[in-house]
Each structure stands twice: as C-alpha cells, then as structure tokens.
Structure 1
Amino acid sequence: MVTNSKDNNALRILMFPWLGHGHISPYLELAKKLSRKDSKIYFCSTPINLKPIKNKILDYNSIELIEFPLPSSQELPPHYHTTTGLPPHLLPALKDAFEMASPQLSNILDTITPDLLIYDIYQPWVPKLASSYKIPAVHFQTTGATAISYFYRLSMNLKTAFPSTIIHLKDIELVRMLETGGGDESDPENEQDRDRVFDSILGSVEILLIKSSREIEGKYIDCLSDFIKKKIVSVGPLVQEFVGNDQENDDVITWLSKKEPFSTVYVSFGTESFLSKKDLEELAHGLELSGVNFIWALKFPEAEKITKVEEALPQGFLERVGEKGLVLGGWVPQAKILNHSSIGGFVSHCGWSSVIESLSFGVPIIAMPLQNDQPLNARLVVEVGVGLEVEKDDKLEFGREEVARVVKEVVVEEKSRETFGKRVKELSEVLKVKADEDVDNAIKELKRLCENNLRKVE
C-alpha cells in the first residue's frame, strides 16, 4: 500500500535500486540508516525482490515497500524479475524491461510525491524523469570508488594520471574482457551498458553517494570526484545487521566454536559469482594442502542443477579433510561467521560488499577475484595491507599450490598473520567509529540538496 501523508518534517525519500541482490542489500541497509534519522523511506523494487525484505523491516515503521511490476512475458516471467537465478542470456532482456516500465515510476512519483529520489546503476532515465517532476535525484553507487574511477578513466580515455600503479588490470585480464564481451565497445550491448552506467553517475544532482569510507579509499574518492565533477559523499560500509543471539544455524556456530581463535578461513564467492569446475577443484586441493580449518559456502548456478555439494568436489575430499572442513550449500549467516573469534581469514572473490564486510569485522582477505571490479578490489586489499591476492597462471586459472601458499601466509605464518591481523583490526575500529558520522554527513548533504531544490521550485 502506498501512502502519501506528510509525516512531520521527515525527509521523504524514494529508493530505487537495480534488481540484483548485491544492490538490493546495500540499498536496504542505507534505507534502515536513513529511516533512523528522521526520514520516511519508500523502498521500490519488483515483487520478487520485495518478498524476502518484508521480514527484515518489521522494526522499521518508517520504511514502506513499493512494488514496481515489470511487464510479464513468456521469456521473462515474474520470477525472473531479479538477477538472482536469472539465466545470463536473459540479463539484456531484464535491463530493457526495467527501462520500459518507466511509466510505473511516474505513477509512483505522482502518488507519493517524494522530496528526493535515490537511484542506482543502469538507470539514466530515472534522473531525467525525476527532473520533470522537479525532484532531485541522487545516484547511490554500491561499487567502490577505486574500481569506478579506474573504469571511468579507461572508458573515457582520460589522460589524467591514476593515483596508483598497484590498482590496474593486467594485459591478460583486459584481453579476457574483450574476448568475453565485457570491454568490446563495438558490441552494441556492451556500449549501451557502459553508457547506462556512466550516464547514471553523471545524471546525479550535485553529489554522489557511495558505499565506502575515506579510511579505505580516500584518494580514489577524490579521484572520482575530480573525474565526474561532483562531490562524493561516503555513507560508510553499511554492513548488514544481525542478531547475536539468533538461534538459526546453531550447528555452524557450534562447529566454529570448537576451533582455536583465528585458525579457520571462511570461503565464499557471493551469490552471483561462480568458479569454473577446474578452479573449484584447485581451491579444494589448495585448502587441503594448507592444512587450515575452513568453512565453505558453496553455491552453483541454477542451470547446473547440482543438488549435493559432494558432486562438485574432488573425489574423497570431504573424507580426507574430516573435521577440518565444513562445506555448506545454500544460504549461510555470513556476518555471524565473519564475526566469530575462530575466523582468521576470508577467501573471497572480492565483490565490493564482501570486501567491506570483511574489513568491518576485522578479518584479513585471501583474494581470489573472478570478474568485473573484483581484480581491482583485490589489489586495493593488497595496497591497504589487509590481505593478499592468489595469483593466477597465464590462462587466468588458479593453482592449488598458490592457494595453499597465500592461505598459510595470511592465517598460519606468525609474522605475516600478526601484521595483517593488526592492520585489519585497526581499520575495523576506525570504520565502526566513522560509520554513524558518514551517515549523519550524508543526511546533511541530502537535506541541503532538498532545501536548495525547494527554493528553486518556489
């Protein structure tokens, strides 16, 4: 149900994320933060994305869910109105359907008349529509400033020097991007995607919100600001909250509690990144060779229809590792795991949310990036001194010996373990202190923007 009552003097904000879990989640966390700062939040997405959110906002009376139905078709039924479980070949169709549903957003703006619209990637049409309603629209970027500024400079062929030589894509990675279509500007779909991304950023009114902190990537925030000529406002890590005494997944926590402090690595590649069969096998052998305890959240593309994790692992792997390893399929309580005292490292694909979450909980990172911004995030991890990257071979494949070497250097070897542990703990403490300050500053900027807009309208 949509309401349009003017609650006190609360800032009324419509939040409109892209349809991927990696976008919905940080938008929801920002919505929670803003709702506690005298703001009324209207959180808008497709019904299938809103369904799991309902139980997450029971204690947030200032957040209201707004359905944004897409046109249904035989190719794109309602359960595909999300990137979760979406066959990759249907992603272009989802982006097109999202844009074609713009009249729905017009109806929503007519009904709730928000003071401000916060929008996401692939949505350059949103600030244009908001402008026609004289509503300021601000882009909220869920990827780090490091990767965005790097790709912006690369795509726009800017001659301005980049702040770091460590942060770069290797020649073979650039070649692979071209081979897989990710960087081929002659491909109309890729050129359209690039334009959607950067036009969304450039369409933001005066400022741009970013899920980050100056303590992690201050010089890249300044770099991005210089490139796009807008003020970059960090909103902090936005780590998902969890209830410490939640009884769910007791078996996982019980297993972890039997391990020594900092003796265990958590292994996860997120919800939408998947290892090849060969890389998965090399990772398994690498974990076995390292001799460390591990808890592995193992997920597969829906198309592979793997029902048991044993089917994907090397023969006899689970028997050989025994009590040293716990392999789980499906959803796992990542925040609770990272917060556990036995965790000494996070084997991660380095999606931005995973990097931020690991640093927030004070866990060093063993970086195994796969695609998109992940290699750049991995090199930022190295530059900041909170982890190491597992180097790939000349075919961009992982090897078991290299996996084992890096895991042991981060988690086992005393000197390096203490160095990484000390640095990441210091950073974690600073992030906790700065988190509320960042949100408070963001609120001030958003209110200033709305007040200026109101004066212009009047």
Structure 2
Amino acid sequence: MDANQQPRSSILMLPWLPHVHVSSYLELAKKFSDKNFDVYFCSTPVTLKQVRESLANQTKTYSIQLVDLHLPNDFPELPPHYHTTKDLPPNLMNTLKAALDGAKPAFGEILKTLKPNLLIYDFIQPWAPAEADNHDIKSVMFYPGCAASIAYMVFYSRNNPTVEYPFPALDFPEIQRQKIGQFMHMHTANGLTNIGRFSECAERSEKMVLINTLSDIEAKHIDFLSGLLGKEMVPVGPLVEEPTNNNNDSVVMDWLNKKHPSSVVYASFGTEYFLSMEEMEELAYGLELSGVSFIWVVRFHGDDFRGKHSIDEVLPEGFLKRVGDRGMVLDGWVPQAKILQHPNTGGFLSNCVWNSTVEGMINGVPIIAMPMKVDQPMNAKLVVEVGVGIEVPRVDGKFKREELTRVIEEVVKQEKGKEVRMKATELSHKLKERGDMDINFAVDKLVQLLNE
C-alpha cells in the first residue's frame, strides 16, 4: 500500500558527519517528506547549521524537523566547531568517531522523546540501531555510496588478496587489494574496525539496506552485494542536490551562458578533499594546455599552502592572466547543480565522490575521473565500465599535466570521445525516464515493514 494512503508515519534520520553523507541523507529526507512521512533529521548543531541554510534556500518546503545531537564534553581537543568532518584535522578523525559513539545515551533520550516509527541510520554507528531496538523502534541502514565500491571493499575484507574478483573491469592489482583489506580492518575508535562497524550496521538493518544507486547502472553489483551481506539491497537513487536560490549565482551563470554548448569543463573535488601543491599545479597546466573553457573550484588547505591566502598565490605564476576569460576560478561556494544542468557544460572533472558522480550521470555530463582515496578509485572504474567517462591515468603514482590535457581534450573536443558523450546523454535520458520508480518501491518496502 502506498504511503500516501497511510496515516503519517515518522522517520528519524541519523547520518555520519561528512558533507557527502549529510547531503545524501537530506535529499532522501526530502523524498520521504514528499511521500507523506514526517521526518526528523538528527545531527550535531554545527552540521545542522548548514542543513538549515540549505533548506532555507530551497524552492519548496518540506516536513523536516531538525534535531540537535550533542556530543559529550569528554574530548577537550574536539570543540563544537569540530563536530563535523569539515576542516577537521586528520588526527582527530578517530576522536570524532569516539565522541559520536559517546552520544548513544543522548540519542536514546531523543528516541524516547520523539518516538519515531522508523530509524534510518548510517554505516558508522552500530549503536544507533541497538538503541532503537531498546525502544522497540524498527531501523534500516542507508548506505549513501555505490554498490560496486563497498562490495569490493567487503569482498577483500573477507578474502585473501590473491583471490580474483568476479568482475574484472572493477579489479585492482594484488597490492591494492591488500591495502583495501588492511583499510577495512583498521581500528577506528572504541576497538571497532571499519569493516566491523559496517558489518554490524548491515546485520542490524531490518530485512533490507537502502543504497544511493540505480539498478540501471549497478544491477549486477547490487545483486552481488546483497549476496555478500545476506540482505536485500534497495536502491533509492539518484539522490542529487536540488538547485538553490542564491543571489551569488548570477556571476557564474552569466559567464557560462556566453559559452558554446558542451564546451565547458567543470572541475571540483568536493568540500572535504584538498589537492596538494603539486596536484594543483599539474591540474592548472592541464586545463591551460587543453585550450577548453573551464570553471575550477579551488580549495586549498594544509602545510603545502602555509602562508598562502588567495587563489593567485596557490596557482602557477601568471596562470590567471594567461587563461583570461577562458577560465573562471573560484574559491567559495558554487551552484554545482545549476552548472551540471547547464547545456554549455561538456565535462565534469571530478575525484568521483559518489554523490557528485551520480549528479554528473543524471545530467548527462561526461566524467573526467581523477580519483584520490577510499572508494573513489572503484567509483572511477564503474564510470568507465558504464561508458560515461574516462579516467586520467597516473604516471608513477602521480597525475601529470600531459595526461590531464589528453583526457580533457578527448572527452570534450575529440572525435574519439564521441561515444562517451553519446552514452552519457543516453544514460541521462534513461535515468530521468525512471523518475521516482526506485524511491516508490523503497517506500512500499518500508511501509510493509512498518505494518508488520
């Protein structure tokens, strides 16, 4: 039975703290709100500040209530502005996980007060479904990444790196398999490993696991992951950020409007990854030598950039003058959704963080894949397998301007990139035709669960 024919049920959503997780959870919260659920969105105050601003800039209103989760004061090195992964020093990541684990009693009080019908939780906090069970509240995990990447990581957390992966197009050399297995068995906080947290969260999820993907691009990987976890994987994608109303958009969009169709490369690596000085320089020269127009979101942080405060200081000398109006370089917030939807955007140079990858796919923008860490290399291989992008190869483990130039030109300008451009357009049409089919199926599954 459809949720719209039911009395309104309430869902409490608890994401892990990186922006990509919070963003995907918020988009799913909007979908649930549209399907006649009352939604509570629970996170730390510093995270909810950003969520509140995002909701205020939306073109419509949603039945989403924000709920503060206060972390314990047991960690003096972790003041409230560090209760997020944004700008968090890397050495404090496990401290943040420990602090979030320590919020279990406070979260229990939230459950006791709100009495939601269902908890949707992330893969990092196995204590959340345990606490929900203590209050007789059903719970389901939502994993905001792709099936292929997490399936690969789970597989090599359980198997020797000499074992061949069943999908060769997504496989890596043995030494990288070994590193992935080591990463999954790495201890985080409170004695829990990465795979331990994920596995317990998946095991506690009632009957299914929601995942931000689509069967059109990952059917075999969804099935494979279901077999690994012993749970039905229910796709709820694509979950992409809606365009927002922002008065600062006009400068970027006016510039983009003046360019030719499918001629501009949009280069962005998200809000929480920073290029090294060497990577920054190689990318700058790659864009310059390609001769294409581009929008480049530059974010810099760390020892490489100590004492540098402006874009001009971190880019090669004379770069901005040489590229002139052919390039727009920005260091703040940009209207990514509007840029990727624009017909003049012809390529997305990305580290392949999953939500941005899906956003490129849904808008038919070919992806220039420049993966950096964790699941991004697997995501990049999936992009290539689906046929909607080309990965920039590393030379001796590093990105080089010559390869960047070659791939940018191939994707945007050359005849040999025509098939990638066509497949990106075809996939976009296919995904848009599906509309809300996947989320409707997921809602039906959740309604059945709540009625049991």
Q: Same fold (TM over 0.5)?
A: yes
Q: Tell me the residue number matched to 1:4.
A: none
The answer to whether the 8 Å contact 2:298/2:329 transfers is: yes
Alignment of 1:376-387 (within 5 A): 376-387=378-389
2:400 is matched by which residue type in structure 1? G
Q: Tell me the residue number matched to 1:168.
A: 171
Give the Cα–Cα distance (whole angstroms) in 1 for the partners of residues 322 and 175 of structure 2. Answer: 36
Q: Tell me the residue number matched to 1:455.
A: none
Q: Percent identity?
A: 45
**1:260 match: secondary structure:** coil
**1:216 match: secondary structure:** helix
Give the Cα–Cα distance (whole angstroms) in 1 for the partners of residues 125 and 185 of structure 2. Answer: 21
Q: Tell me the residue number matched to 1:97.
A: 99
Alignment of 1:335-414 (within 5 A): 335-394=337-396, 396-413=397-414
Q: CA deviation at 1:202?
A: 2.3
Gaps of 5+ in 1: 1-7, 453-458
1:123 aligns with 2:125: yes
1:31 is matched by which residue type in structure 2? A
Give the Cα–Cα distance (whole angstroms) in 2 for the partners of residues 172 and 252 of structure 1. Answer: 43
2:283 is matched by which residue type in structure 1? L
Could you tell me the TM-score, scaled by structure 2's length?
0.92
**1:287-310: per-residue Cα shift (whole Å, max 9, x none)?**
111111111001123675642111
Give the Cα–Cα distance (whole angstroms) in 1 for the partners of residues 189 and 64 of structure 2. Answer: 39
1:281 is matched by which residue type in structure 2? E
Q: Tell me the residue number matched to 1:261.
A: 261
The answer to whether the 8 Å contact 1:182/1:190 transfers is: no
Q: Tell me the residue number matched to 1:225.
A: 226
Q: Tell me the residue number matched to 1:237.
A: 238
Q: Tell me the residue number matched to 2:29.
A: 31
The answer to whether the 8 Å contact 2:348/2:368 transfers is: yes
Q: Tell me the residue number matched to 1:16.
A: 14
**1:168-206: per-residue Cα shift (whole Å, max 9, x none)?**
23346457669xx74664898896233112222222111
1:429 aligns with 2:406: no
Q: Tell me the residue number matched to 1:281.
A: 281
**1:136-184: per-residue Cα shift (whole Å, max 9, x none)?**
1100001100001000000011899744211023346457669xx7466
1:198 aligns with 2:196: no
Q: Tell me the residue number matched to 2:3.
A: none
1:329 aligns with 2:343: no
2:386 is matched by which residue type in structure 1? V
Which sits farther off after the overlay, 266-275 or 188-197?
Answer: 188-197
Q: Tell me the residue number matched to 1:82.
A: 84
Give the Cα–Cα distance (whole angstroms) in 1 for the partners of residues 395 and 110 of structure 2. Answer: 51
Instruction: Pick closer, same or farther for the CA change 1:424–1:101 going to 2, 3 Å.
Output: same
Q: CA deviation at 1:70?
A: 0.6
**Corresponding residue pairs, total:** 441
Q: CA deviation at 1:9?
A: 1.1
Give the Cα–Cα distance (whole angstroms) in 2 for the partners of residues 185 and 70 of structure 1. Answer: 24
Q: CA deviation at 1:52?
A: 2.1
RMSD: 2.2
Q: Tell me the residue number matched to 1:3.
A: none
Instruction: Pick closer, same or farther for the CA change 1:441–1:184 going to 2, 3 Å.
Output: closer
Give the Cα–Cα distance (whole angstroms) in 1 for the partners of residues 375 and 297 of structure 2. Answer: 21
Give the Cα–Cα distance (whole angstroms) in 2 for the partners of residues 232 and 426 of structure 1. Answer: 25
Instruction: Pick closer, same or farther for the CA change 1:246–1:93 going to 2, 3 Å.
Output: closer
Instruction: Pick closer, same or farther for the CA change 1:343–1:380 going to 2, 3 Å.
Output: same
Could you tell me the TM-score, scaled by structure 1's length?
0.91
Instruction: Pick closer, same or farther for the CA change 1:235–1:124 going to 2, 3 Å.
Output: same
Gaps of 5+ in 2: 1-5
Q: Tell me the residue number matched to 2:40.
A: 42
